[in-house]
Chain A
Amino acid sequence: MKRKTTQSTEDLENEMETLNPEDEEETEKKLKGSKKKASASLTEDGVLRPLKLSKGELYKAPTVEELNQLKEAESLFHCSLLKMQMEELLKEVALSERRKKQMDSFIQQITDLLKSVPETPVVELSDLSWISESGIDVPFILVPEETKGKFHMEPPDSVDLIGSYPLGTCIKPRVSVDLAVTIPASILHPMDGINQRYSRKRALYLAGLAQHLSTSPLVGPLHYSCLHGNRLRPLLLVTPSGKDSNSILLRIHAIPPPDFLKPSRFHPQKNNVRTAWFTGQNAEQESSEPPTPQYNSTVVGDHLPRSHLQFLSAHSDQCPAFREGVALLKVWLRQRELDQGAGCFGGFLASMLLAYLLSTHKVGKTMNAYQLLRNVMHFLASTDLTQNGITLAKHPDSKVPSLHEFHSAFQVVFVDPSGHLNMCADMTACTYKQIQHEASLSLQFWDDPTLDGFQALLMTPKPMIRTYDNVYQLKDLVKMQASCKKLSLLSSLMDYGGNYILTVLPFILSLLQRGLGDRIRLLVHSLPSDPEWPVYSEPPMHKDQPPVSIGLLLNSERALSVLERGPAADSPEAAEFRQLWGSRSELRRFQDGAITEAVLWSGSSTCQRRHVLLEIITHLLELHADIPESCVSFVGGQMDDVIKVEREECSTGEEESLKVVQCFDDLSRKLWQLEGLPLSITSVQGAHPALRYSQVFPPVPVKLSYSYFEREKTSRALVPHEAKPCPYYITPIKVICHMEGSGKWPSDSLAIRHIKAAFHIRLGELLKTQHGYTFRPSPTHLDVWKDGLVFRIQVAYHREPQVLRESVTTEGMLIQRDNAEAQALELETQQKPFLTSTLHGLQQQQPCFSAVCRLAKRWLAAQLFSGDINEEAADLLVASLFLQPAPFTPPSSPQVGFLRFLRLLSTFDWKNNPLVVNLNGKLAACDYTEIKNHFLASRESLPVMFIATPNDKDVSVWTKEGPSVQMLQRVMLVAAESLRVLEAQLINPSLKQDIRVVFRPPLDVYDVLIHLRPQQVPLLSRAVDPPKTTGRQGTLDGDAASSGGAFPVVDFDPVKLYLSELRDAYGDLALFFCDPYGGTVIAVLWKPKAFQPQPFKTSLMNARRVEVTEDTATTVLNVEAIVQDFQIIGEGLVDRVDLRTERWVV
């Protein structure tokens, strides 16, 4: 706190200099100086300040140019900020001139090298002896091994640059330059299109080039890869030797001479891979060979890169912003992990799509990059290429296949300018749907004025695990071979050149789509990545690929339902339904009298039902694709453990929260109906996290064993026993009960307090006589024991804060002055109930809110941050994930919500931005600007973590007390690290580590650890790592009585009491941290200034000792006594105090 004030005074001085000189001219001069200063200080501490411009500068006559510029920013972009952001981004991803020069020279060297490849004698195609001497392998899985044909090496006809580099759409990082090497016609044979002969020759030719290049000292280690995961199109990756090896990457494609093979032979409905050759058996039926569209498009695609480049550069020359538009589009795709792997929507397709829009005049030539991007999004969102394909061919001749023919062979259709090639041949319908989904989402976010669209859409990565509600991984891909057989996909397998994963994937996807139906909104899959392997080793087998992930966006209404209701038993669709679900389908009779086919899955609690989808997926895959259950793993649900209410029962608290809310509703009804109150009740509102579903461990009704406790003398209430372990902790659930306003209320705050106490007694007595509840009144509240729960009713009078603020001046004027007491009361009796009811409403719309919120709070508590970020602030942080999910959709599973919470904590720029949580959608766009302006204007005096809500636009009531700058910094750090560890573990389940790692705080940063005696920690069983057996703590099995009985021990938590005493006494000297849910360690951190020796002063003597040197007395911290006090104050609770003196010296 001290630090902050010193900083702000400096800033004040700075600003004082910049403000208010009288003379106009002087203003100008000073302003320039101050501006420099402002920008300097700005880079120093990275805080935005309101800008001061002189009148002269603001009101001078504008030039035409300036006017245009301002207007353009206003009308074409949302605002000038967006325009500048885009420009900055493009600068950041563009290649530097220096790097281009480096590349050009390396390309020249390699081109020269390639042209000097020596000739080799002609050998049989299957004879690999000429190459194996050098140890270099062929980048091709030679199955079946037998092939006809001859091969020899010869220098290439030509070496050309193709792809994004010559086009200028190449962006950082992972810059790769594509180099096309034309295989001389003499090596190829006109019949090579058949049976992979051409593809193998191409691979051999690359191997020959690799052999030659490996002898050159210019070249670093060589690798093979393949284009978009297609094993029939291998690539040779060349990097320079030495230090530049990471910055430059050449990809060498071998391509046939143009027009070498007739494209019409590769019509999608023709066959070019013979079954007899592929299976090695002599099949008789020559006539009915299946078509091989995938193989055909591979071969045709190899002929066309040069003409594509020409086509694209013609378009890019016409439209000045073409390159920038493509660059933005590529960034967008890359953030969504769509730009790489098999069936990707890469940069090439992006350029082609833009060219298509240009050629069909859907975008204008003079549009800027931002407009191009928007239009592409719009086109993608509104055009379904799986139904209505598009073509770039202008004047198709008769030989060109029709769009209809393309559609019958491929899932997604986008035909290239030649008319023979479907550029989206390998894309699955799911991937395209994913692109469409992303595009329409993005459009929606661009149009939202309350959102920083740039940040959300171009700067935020969307990895699968953080984007999709549920992620399933298919491991042991080798099992898919069996599914090929089961699904009789031989012809398709032939078409894909033996890649059984790509063969099976579309079938699995459509199967799952059918089975999951309306439970999901979107089904996506990870794109099998491009393998990379050194030239000296064999190509990796298909089974060695990383697991395929399947991501689902859930439809929260239907996703977790246990019943799949099918068609009526006698309808024709019933057979289809039975076929899909197999033995799980059974006839059921429903309440409405219908008898239908249905499938019933298991699971009673929400926690269990979260596994219904897994059950469905494994069942379908096992039934239809022979993929055993062990191959499917569910990423998620691992974290449910830390918020489980009872270890034995499987419930993560949704049901318990509901029970508490129902019990509260009952109580509030009874309060309303009470008779005999002098004033009537105007409202009964909950003000406790349990009543907004966000209590980490919702209170559970308990039945008490009376013998465990001692009795209080007068009321016979239960009291904890000194010698026994701490009793079960019963949370008082706070309820605010507003009484009607009336002239009978006194106008003096002290008297109001007394009247409230009288109300507490009266309410309690009425509840006792009319409903038999046991109660305990106190001046500040009334505790009621009901259904095994305790409600803490607090009577409120709506004018009380007002009364506290009022005072009379000596002149007799009634003035209102805000004070802390009034604020605290308002917070308690008005804002908290309001927040509670609002979030209760949010939970009704977003059933996942509760679980995400509780996970997030569990994490905060476990990492010892719950003292700094209070319950309400955490609730609001989580609510913001649901209310402003951009660039995602609102989370529908606890895990994805939790990951996004960590991401929000670790990346949000609290210094310069308020977090606006638009509860109930009450804030309009103008409110946002108002909040932002106010925030910027008074940043220094506002809380470090600023959260604005519709009712609280400029104070941020929930974060006023903390966290401090230092604590927030630490929270961000820990959140980032937790996120990293957690994601790594979730993505790679083979790591077999405990997910609880992220819930165990690092204790090595603290100065003193106070270890507590576990049996006196009441919430021990809720700890992250609970002991195997915890006692009953004075509870019994069985249902709690609904009323009556002795009053239980309420809100007795020695740890909490101890902490508050410590903070009271030593809060100025040290910080105390503890996990409120069963933590057995209190961590202490000395404040640095506490250790400084101070001159003796009567006001500065607390917990210090005097040291006299000559005739001055100074005081230093009496650490020894303080540490002993820790033990004395916590007697009976403290086990030992661990001084970690390696971190500090007495």
Chain B
Amino acid sequence: MLKIEKYSKKYRNNDAYSAKEIDLIAEAGEVCGLVGSNGAGKSTIIKAVTGILPFDEGTITLEGYDIVRQPEQAKRLIGYVPDDHTVYEKLTGREYVNYIGSLYGASKEQKRRAVEELAVTFGIAHALDVQIANYSHGMKQKICILGSLVHEPMLWVLDEPMVGLDPQTMILLRNFIRKYADDGHIVLFSSHNLDTVQKVCDKVAFIRAGELISLTDLRNEKDFDLEAYYLKATEVAANA
């Protein structure tokens, strides 16, 4: 279980909160989507959950491990796909997946699975021995996905995963996210693609100006119109 309690974050040289008193719980088997306009604070929350960004107030725990106090135990359970697909460009795809696997203590079998099965699933097997510097935007995204899954993390975090992907891969990734959660994992992802969020998520957290303004369980609200809700909330924010 992922538990975020009273999480707040202020960046240096900025008095305003980028995230304020966020409370969020995601259980195994759930896909939780973070929705909000640009600069709302989605990435700030995601980076705190993954342990990349230090924070001042609140606690974040994963399976009982505190990301601040027990970072190594907690991080071992996390896989992360960043929004800008930054990877080690001087490595080949295979070397990258191998290396990330080693850092997470993945077994040889897990690494082999990532470079053989997952690479085929995501259509990047042909480029595994090419230096990543020569990859296209979408290919970098795919190799990031492979690297994030090599150790079969309990929590899979994706920041804007659909950006730059072709429609086929978007559908593939959407289905994969759903299946990964159904296999007993937690998926947390941010997206501007409301259609994807509506189709794949169990819960949607709406973030505005660093605050969690609503947490909707889509399983209980079959007719929930996310698009209408989003537009209304954004309009309210713009008028405020």
- Please indicate whether A and B come from the same complex rather than being unrelated chains: no
The chain A residues found within 8 Å of chain B, CB to CB, are none
